[in-house]
Amino acid sequence: MAADRLLYLLRAAPAAASPPAGPSSRRRGALQSQRLRLPATAAAGARRAGVACSCGGGGEGMTYKGAGVDIDAGTELVRRIARMAPGIGGFGGLFPWGDDYLVAGTDGVGTKLKLAFETGIHDTIGIDLVAMSVNDIVTSGAKPLFFLDYFATSKLDVDLAEKVIKGIVDGCKQSDCALLGGETAEMPGFYAEGEYDLSGFAVGAVKKDKVIDGKSIVEGDILIGLPSSGVHSNGFSLARRVLEKSGLSLNDQLPRNDGMTTTVGEALMAPTVIYVKKVLEIISKGGVKGLAHITGGGFTDNIPRVFPSGLGATIFTATWEVPPVFKWIQQVGKIDDAEMRRTFNMGIGMVLVVSKEAADGILESSHGPNHAYRIGEVIRGEGVQYI
């Protein structure tokens, strides 16, 4: 093979590999306790950003499309693909397998990678990668079984790649699935020096009679929101534009909802919450009719994906506290409310649609970092309205 051809290094787990067994082999609550530390490379003197104002408006506001991401174009592409491959459009793809459905999902972490390069934080970006796929497939009620990754770079830095894969391993432990294998592609001249790209693929399973598909959702059902850790892995093209406009460095300070402070870099790089165990626990108690993973498209585009035709949602925007990082993004970027709600998760990373009877029990059993919020209800109509 010529020296300038692509070199592919296949990584695969042994055939007998299986998910980590036993509580002692799993990291519990890692997302709640983990605090990121930026390398000490910033210029001397840190500033604190105020986020007292959370409303957009006043002048020309920044938009996701203006930052280079056109959600409408993406939606149109999905519509065209659906003509060629009918049945797509859910959060995960379902494949019948005996009494089960295999549920598959794939994703990346977008331009959050740019911040990983700038901050030097590489050991948690793999958690984001796992989260984006397993959080999608759990919306069907599926338990993740295994995960595969793809790591591509121009020149392989083994130490850096090990940090990235460590995050993937941590994410698999948090979601109780096996890292079954992956692909490492060394592609000279294709990426900038020190940069890489990631994608991931997850497969899970759910009994056919237990699949959650939203078909039983009715007017009056309750929307329950599970909190996010921050921006997660969507909206970073816009967030990075806001960071440029703000004049702040990644080491400048932002307040948190608990009264403490964090840096801009730490707030933006906080790993995506993996909801698998929490969601499966709630599902096991009954009453869950639909789930929406709040990623690109925010509340506005993702929640309606689980509704039968003719139903929409009302969101009660005062029922949870929006994290300061979103208030800062909105204030600096002069971004209007509608744009924020269609770009970011606004502090809620997973939405469950449940019966009225089940709602109280779910809310009463959620405490501390597992707190859940009653954020809305299903209404007659289309789309999402905010009050």
Residue 59 pLDDT level (bands cut at 50, 70, 90): low
Q: Give residue 346's identity as a one-letter amino acid code.
A: M
- Amino acid 43: pLDDT: 33
Rounded Cα distance, 120 and 53, in Å: 31
Residue 66 pLDDT level (bands cut at 50, 70, 90): confident
Rounded Cα distance, 160 and 240, in Å: 23
- Amino acid 50: pLDDT: 45
Whether the pLDDT of residue 18 is over 60: the answer is no
Chain centroid to CA 260: 24
The answer to whether residues 199 and 107 touch, using CB atoms and an 8 Å cutoff, is yes
Among the ranges given (38-52, 55-69, 262-276), the one the predictor scored with the smallest mean pLDDT: 38-52
Among the ranges given (101-105, 160-164, 364-368), the one the predictor scored with the smallest mean pLDDT: 364-368
Whether the pLDDT of residue 25 is over 70: the answer is no
The answer to whether residues 231 and 344 touch, using CB atoms and an 8 Å cutoff, is yes
Q: Cβ–Cβ contacts within 10 Å for residue 90, how many?
A: 17
- Amino acid 261: pLDDT: 82
Which neighbouring-strand residues pair with 181?
Answer: 12, 148
Whether the pLDDT of residue 31 is over 60: the answer is no
Q: Which residue has the tokens 């499966």?
A: 280
* Joined tokens for residue 192: 């900038």
Closest among 190, 221, 192 to 313, alpha carbons compared: 221
Give the CA count within 13 Å in the CB-facing half-sphere of 174.
30
The mean pLDDT value for 85-107 works out to 90
Whether the pLDDT of residue 274 is over 90: the answer is yes
The helix (H) or strand (E) run that includes residue 48 is none
Q: For the whole model, what pTM was predicted?
A: 0.82
Q: How far is CA 107 from CA 177, 268, 276, in A?
A: 16, 19, 16
Closest among 274, 278, 294, 300 to 351, alpha carbons compared: 294
The CA radius of gyration of the chain, in Å to the nearest whole number, is 21
The mean pLDDT value for 205-234 works out to 96
Chain centroid to CA 277: 15
- Amino acid 294: pLDDT: 97
The mean pLDDT value for 99-107 works out to 97
